[in-house]
Structure 1
């Protein structure tokens, strides 16, 4: 009753039925459940069939597209079922998914099961802290504990249910997982599905008596059935646990280190990081991630976005203090270590080289010394010049130590090769899209001007101050009825001070709101006077099919892009090009189409894979 009560209380957003199989239970009141509770079908066996046959019989009555096996000694928690359904829906290649099981005292029972070469099972993480990062990412596993697991009905029918050689119970659940893989599907662990399990209540714990004794008997049957696969694909008892826990022995492993979890809705660098993480995962690479502040941002979706992709995120105080120990223990399993941004690479590169044989990749984003040198040329501040010199020394050192340097524009490659001709450097796209948009509205139906950029980045502050002071007054004279929308996180006091009747500073907006601005505004601007590298705001405008006016700095790195954007560096010219796009529908449509074509060519998944 407690099990069913928890299912009813904690199951939301999923249509379900409950099938109760009474295998000659002594509890007569259980047989009355179907009379009083919704969604419940009750079936009673005339003789005791045992766990395996009882499950097979119960599954034959199911009407749904998925079967969820749940022991009666469990207590499900909020979101337990919807998270399993969501994971199953992610890919048709996933055939079976299971929950994180914890004991009533809060200790972990298992985070997915491991089968060793000898046929022994291992509850990964048993009696450990269930909140540790290693137990909280979606992953492929050898098997799932039969106390709670979901399988596609079509896969179940194809396999024929639990193998009856294991009657009455034990080893039918790992056998089923092996059969699912044999049929061409994956078996996955979903940490967001949390279930409390009162282990031992159903069949006891004594291996020498009752049904429990079949655990040893059936292990031998299991080993004989799967001997060839066990010897070919599995490790000996307790060996190579790091690879056995998520079946990643045949995968490449990447450790990606950035300054924090990707704030992909806040800044271009984070968005780029997320796009590359997605590319690696999609290409079956096992990814481990460190954010240098080791913070999990609990009020945001950032951690969950990565862990639900299957990325192990090392966060929390222990990892902050012991990341070197983790790298010492697991560095030999890494094939690549990617260090993102110079201050991060500088901190980790020597330790990464010492503790692994991995290829070290420096993800520079842009050349910081070049960006600061250009800022100095405008502001003439000696402190900025000194900072640029320090950045140059750092970036030269990193380019010499790394096996490969990746930048987002050819300008960085050329500039760095001038001062270090021996550096291994290649250019990769800033963003990677696996699908592309079509404008919902014709440009002629749109109104207003749009700037998008985060204001923790000083070039964006300078850009909008310059635009509003030197360019906007010119535009207003011929286009008095339009509004300039300035969108971006962390607007400073200087940016807030730009607001007036026809200039709106929104601050941060979510993706849905941002997409609405892209759909309804007519012209995008990127009036950058200094900076380096490919500019995310420019790529975003191209991706959304926006007619765009930018500067030579904003267009830097966009090769052969004259058909995708207009470029001007002087206030009068910049204003004139905005007015052209605003007043000439045919011209605006041509540049909108050119933007889409350019983005499809240079920011596709296929192009990124070719470049890497």
Structure 2
């Protein structure tokens, strides 16, 4: 086997494409590498789940690994991967130093998904009832960990242009350490749209989102307490179907048939659910990254209403496929208009297709990405010499994560 064509992915969980956009994103990355001829191994310390993708069907080798255990050292040394992809910075913290010591020539990639510290800082500002400012990030404890992880890696994959800007301007990260790689989608044709249900064939509003993700739970509370009563006042017969994986009891308790607020839980087929709805509602008040649920709405030809944070970095200078507002009264008014006005609805649908076809096509990114990977593999030593802060953070005196892990491993043997 060509050692230059072995990819090891280390994930905190097994991919669940029907539960979250992160699972879909991971399968897109796997597909990119497989098409380039890589043999892919996906390793995780997580328990298997009923909803995980069958990696064998994806022709991916599955490997269960253990946290804080030197058995990983043996595994990675034997595998000898050419590229290691950490899924989120927490996995780099746990396993990065082991990869560095046992497979030093492997190219180390970090898939950030979104900037965790941005989501946390915005959530904190929201709870403290104040506006988020970028300086909040500099005092956020998790930012120090996340930025250290980005610096230790050879390249970090970013899905949001705004987050790339934050990293280069606020944190002064060298742009050579970052690569913009958003969700990778297929082109939508007029024929594709013609196959979708029409305005008349659709009914109801829908919200969809994984409930393990705090911004989604907050958005559903906001809908229930503030926005939905305003919509219901104008559309007494309106129904909002709330879907999402892993709903807790507090989510299920929001169900109220009389109010037309129906909590459905996990969707067997998310695309089907979104295609049947007339309008997607996503009033996100904090968060980061780009929102898979809103891209899915565009793919399904379903206009959406969201906030400035919901639409952040998603549409460039194009028109949104519905409306964007942070005012709950305006949100409700616009939602009702979008639901009732077919002309407005069709315009929103058209805008969504434009956004996908101009900003998210796989063909826009895959060649440049693979060229970057090949260049880094060919120039890895020079690249690392130019990343002095990264090599500084690999220095033994600063490797607290390594020694904490070794201490836990030793303690577990007692």
Q: Shorter chain as normaliser: what TM range? A: 0.7 to 0.9
Q: In 1, distance between residues paired with 2:22 and 2:182?
A: 12
- Matching of residue 596 in structure 1 with residue 353 in structure 2: yes
Structure 2 match to 1:461 = 217
- Conserved 8 A contact 1:474-1:572: yes
| CA displacement at 1:461 relative to structure 2 | 0.8
For structure 2, the residue ranges without an aligned partner over 5 or more in a row are: 130-135, 370-414
| CA displacement at 1:576 relative to structure 2 | 1.5
Query: What does 1:73-222 correspond to in 2, within 5 Å?
Result: none
- Conserved 8 A contact 2:18-2:51: no
- Conserved 8 A contact 1:428-1:611: no
Structure 2 match to 1:360 = 108
| CA displacement at 1:606 relative to structure 2 | 0.7
**Which of 513, 519, 531 lines up with 2:275 in the alignment?**
519
- Matching of residue 405 in structure 1 with residue 156 in structure 2: yes
Structure 1 match to 2:124 = 376
Q: In 1, distance between residues paired with 2:110 and 2:293?
A: 23
SS at match of 2:313: coil
Query: What does 1:205-604 correspond to in 2, within 5 Å?
Result: 243=1, 249=2, 252-293=5-46, 295-297=47-49, 299-300=50-51, 302=53, 305-315=54-64, 322-331=71-80, 334-356=81-103, 357-380=105-128, 389-417=140-168, 418-422=170-174, 424-433=177-186, 437-438=192-193, 439-501=195-257, 502-511=260-269, 514-558=270-314, 559-604=316-361
| CA displacement at 1:309 relative to structure 2 | 2.1
| CA displacement at 1:588 relative to structure 2 | 0.2
TM-score (norm 2): 0.80
Give the 3 Å change call, closer, same or farther, for CA 494–264 of structure 1 in structure 2: same
Q: In 2, distance between residues paired with 1:450 and 1:404?
A: 37
- Conserved 8 A contact 2:188-2:353: no
Query: What does 1:57-72 correspond to in 2, within 5 Å?
Result: none
Structure 2 match to 1:66 = none
Structure with the bigger RCO (C-alpha within 8 Å, sep 6+) is 2
**Which has a greater percent of strand?**
1
Q: Decide which structure has the larger Cα Rg and report it.
A: 1
Q: In 1, distance between residues paired with 2:127 and 2:119?
A: 12
SS at match of 2:76: helix
CA RMSD of aligned residues (A): 2.6
SS at match of 1:445: coil
Count of matched residue pairs: 356
- Conserved 8 A contact 1:370-1:388: no
Q: In 2, distance between residues paired with 1:314 and 1:389?
A: 34
Give the 3 Å change call, closer, same or farther, for CA 263–320 of structure 1 in structure 2: farther
For residues 401-446 of structure 1, give each alpha carbon's deviation from its aligned partner in whole angstroms, at most 9, with x where no partner exists. Answer: 1111111101111111121332511211134447774252212331
SS at match of 1:372: helix
Query: What does 1:50-61 correspond to in 2, within 5 Å?
Result: none
For structure 1, the residue ranges without an aligned partner over 5 or more in a row are: 1-242, 244-248
Q: In 2, distance between residues paired with 1:284 and 1:276?
A: 13
- Conserved 8 A contact 1:455-1:491: yes
- Conserved 8 A contact 1:260-1:292: yes
Q: In 1, distance between residues paired with 2:275 and 2:118?
A: 34
More displaced 10-residue stretch of structure 1: 334-343 or 421-430: 421-430
TM-score (norm 1): 0.55
